[in-house]
A and B are shown apart, each in its own frame.
Chain A
């Protein structure tokens, strides 16, 4: 069976399902809420008035509090579709290979994550342009695009093992959600210690995206940490294959 067909099927299965709408709504709300925070005055100047504050804050606050849980929710929802709808028995006799199907689901989740980050980027960029158009530079915009994309993909890798574990457990989506939230939330404190922050996958994503000022060693550690997350995910998926 071609991967293309599996990806097509995964996209098809999401029709009328409100997961995409909810994820989209979450991103819009992040933009709104961070803007609300930008109204806070510090020495007589509102945060949003500072150039690039909004784009930076939306990326970091969104990535720390909201988006990992939303990615986990989306990923586990997509992975557990067959369990929920009891379609696995029909798919098994097609035959569809479970590991390949799960890989397709993983790719779809990555694409959704990327789309969410790009939407957030577009919203914040537009707002930033309205607020301080003269200060926008092409190189600045480019560096933000890069940051958003890498942050999105890195965070996706950081959350992947949780999605994979949820796939292993029946009804693991509740746990995945809570766990992803605790996991990203803990990054607030982990970030305080430089080495741990380079290793801890959520903060590693910030290192890799260039949000944190990073030394080459830290960068290497972060890349390794995220690579381990990816490998771990693949290993868990591989185990699923053996179980099936």
Chain B
């Protein structure tokens, strides 16, 4: 456990001077800004803060923006070490292949947490400063609760990309795959939520939402099972890929 903690700490050290990693956090503010224009244009009176937050932080951000950002991040996390042929040096330290993989996953977890917090705070500020919504305790609780859920589930849903990045020396395939993977997850929201980890994540997120009306009630167990199966497959796949990386 201590070794894993060390590894995680090292992962963060490796991100030093990578301005781009911090820069990607700006993507968290895209939807809050668009939301102001969107609701401003609609001219709705007495907008429900929860409705605003759902739009500004809890829809396209976890459906598209966060997955794309996490996909690129996971590629970045693996790319440099592949590129500089550093893996062989790490294996002789020795560092466990799975511990290595999980340390990267933990960075994604932390990163998505920061990302969602920025998005949440951005939404609150955007809503308040534009005068669109009042500040209410239940809505804040709802927003931060959902953000926390997203920040925990999204990295798990993006594990297949991290595994692919672990298996590839080049950045092209994992980055290209990120976009297709995200798009697929997004489109499947409408047809079948229990195939793709990202749509399964959305199923979990909207489980108690009275506004979302679906053909059949949401089966959270099934959604977790889908997420779990894909995570397991990804982890095993990454383990094999890293073992073969020499």
| Residue positions of A touching B, CB distance < 8 A | 18-19, 22-23, 25-26, 29-30, 33-34, 36-37, 39-40, 61, 65-66, 69-70, 73, 77, 171, 173-175, 177-178, 181-182, 185-186, 188-189, 192-193
Contact = CB atoms under 8 A, between A and B. Distances in A.
Contact of A33 (B60, B72, B187): B187
B47 to A, nearest CB: 17
Contacts of B179: 26, 65-66, 69-70, 181
Interface of B: 20, 23-24, 27, 30, 34, 37-38, 41, 60, 64-65, 68-69, 72, 76, 170-173, 175-177, 179-180, 182-184, 186-188, 190-191
Contacts of A188: 60
A73 B187 contact: no
A80 to B, nearest CB: 11
Contacts of A185: 30, 60, 64-65
A178 B184 contact: no
A18 B24 contact: no
Contacts of B69: 178
B187 A181 contact: no
Contacts of A61: 183, 187
Contacts of B65: 182, 185
Contacts of A189: 34, 37-38
Contacts of A174: 20, 72, 76, 171, 175
Contacts of B176: 22-23, 25-26, 70, 73
B72 to A, nearest CB: 6
B173 A22 contact: yes
B187 A36 contact: yes
Contacts of A40: 190-191
Nearest to B20: A174
**4 nearest A-B pairs in the assembled complex, by CB-CB distance:** A22-B176, A29-B180, A37-B187, A65-B183
A60 to B, nearest CB: 12
A137 B27 CA distance: 44
Nearest to B181: A29
Contacts, number: 86
A171 B191 CA distance: 38
A37 B183 CA distance: 11
B191 A37 contact: yes
Contact of A77 (B24, B30, B72, B172): B172
Contacts of A175: 20, 23
A177 to B, nearest CB: 6
A178 B60 CA distance: 15
A194 to B, nearest CB: 12
Given A18-B172, A77-B172, A189-B34, 15 more contacts: A19-B172, A22-B173, A23-B176, A26-B179, A33-B183, A37-B187, A39-B191, A66-B179, A66-B183, A69-B179, A70-B176, A73-B176, A174-B72, A178-B27, A181-B68
Most buried by A among B41, B171, B172: B172
Contact of A182 (B27, B172, B187): B27
Contacts of B30: 182, 185-186
A61 to B, nearest CB: 7
A193 to B, nearest CB: 7
Contacts of B188: 36
B187 A34 contact: yes
A36 B171 CA distance: 28
Given A177-B72, A178-B24, A182-B27, A73 B172 contact: yes
Contact of B184 (A22, A33, A39, A192): A33
Contact of B190 (A25, A37, A171): A37
B25 to A, nearest CB: 11
A30 B68 CA distance: 16
Contacts of A66: 179-180, 183
Nearest to B180: A29
Contacts of B27: 178, 182
Contacts of A77: 172
Contact of A65 (B171, B175, B186, B190): B186
